[in-house]
Amino acid sequence: MRNAFADEMLSLARQDPRVVLLSADIGNRLFDKLKAEFPDRFYNCGVAEANMIGVAAGLAQSGLRPFCYTITPFITYRCMEQIRVDLCYHHLPVTVVGTGSGLSYASLGGTHHSCEEMGMLRLLPGLTVGGPADAPELRALLRDSLNQNGPVYLRIGKKGEPQMHRDVPALKFGQSIMLREGSDACILSIGTVLPVAMAAAEKLAASGISTQVVTFPTLKPLDEKCLQMVFSSFKVVATLEEHSILGGLGGSVAEWKADHPELNARLVRLGTPDEFLHLTCEQEEAREHYGLTAEGIAGRIYGLIA
């Protein structure tokens, strides 16, 4: 996804002279083409992420459209105050992009994990929060970020994520896309676990359970029209995310469902529990540890329906 990000940023810079890119000492070679073509529109702020957010706020107040990019835990946890006060309080059009989200950097330990940041950031007034599943979804949301009049946060993967869309979808913030039809259960997936959701649906189909899969690239605002439809149509609705079940998609949907007691579908939240991961392992092993596999997800849903 990071290669798609760099390519899309170059395209946006060519289309809109207001676009500037800020990085916190990461992706220097990744942005060589942008730097060569627009040397005055790329700023390496060094290992000073909080300062980078402040710089972006100043650029936005000068009429520019800044995009800030670095590894997710460092651009979110470390910058919470600056995102809240500099960007959200002043409602500035800055797009913050965290790369290597969730358990992408599982092998580097807890400092590099980010399984709580969406839950933290969605509390901030006026902040749009997204988690694209693949490069085409990322491109669509980057383009739509220029239509937003306030701050945006996007969590993306690292590299090598499967592409789930053939082309860039006609996707805006607050919209979801159904990728697989079903009649018994529905999986709402945010972020790079979407291929796992699709594989789980295949396994459930082999057991006679028809499962719909919906990609939910925006956490805030939620696609409430989609939620109304799925909770009115299915016996079981599962949320899936490489993020804590507290505060992320699962938490957001649970809050929405609490306001709609007339809907009787069972909600199951699939994600990471309320704990730190102390294993040193690869991303796939971390997913297996938490049951975020096709087998684990299918088993949870099957147990609620069969």
Tokens 């096709």 locate to: 294
Average pLDDT, the chain: 98
229 burial (CB, 10 Å; 0-12 / 13-18 / 19+) is middle
Which pLDDT value is given to residue 28? 73
Residues 14 and 145 in one domain: yes
pLDDT of 22 strictly over 90: yes
Which pLDDT value is given to residue 96? 99
Q: Residue 150 is encoded by which pair of tokens?
A: 């306030």
Q: Are 82 and 94 in contact (CB under 8 A)?
A: no
Rounded percentage of the chain residues whose pLDDT exceeds 90: 98
The count of domains in the chain is 2
Q: Are 48 and 1 in contact (CB under 8 A)?
A: no
pLDDT of 306 strictly over 90: no
Q: Are 114 and 78 in contact (CB under 8 A)?
A: no
Flag whether 194 is in a domain. Answer: yes
Flag whether 109 is in a domain. Answer: yes
Which pLDDT value is given to residue 74? 98
Residues 83 and 136 in one domain: yes
User: DSSP code of 161?
Assistant: P
Nearest alpha-carbon partner for 68 in 97, 91, 42:
97
Domain that holds residue 35: 2-155
pLDDT of 64 strictly over 80: yes
pLDDT of 27 strictly over 80: no
153-157 mean pLDDT: 98
Residues 202 and 143 in one domain: no
Residues 225 and 290 in one domain: yes
Residues 6+ apart with CB under 8 A from 296: 288, 290
Centre a 10 Å sphere on the Cβ of residue 267 and count the other Cβ atoms it contains.
Answer: 18
pLDDT of 259-294, one tens digit each?
Answer: 999 999 999 999 999 999 999 999 999 999 999 999
pLDDT of 188 strictly over 90: yes
Q: How confident is the model at residue 223 (pLDDT cuts 50, 70, 90)?
A: very high
pLDDT of 67-103, one tens digit each?
Answer: 999 999 999 999 999 999 999 999 999 999 999 999 9
Flag whether 70 is in a domain. Answer: yes
Residues 117 and 232 in one domain: no
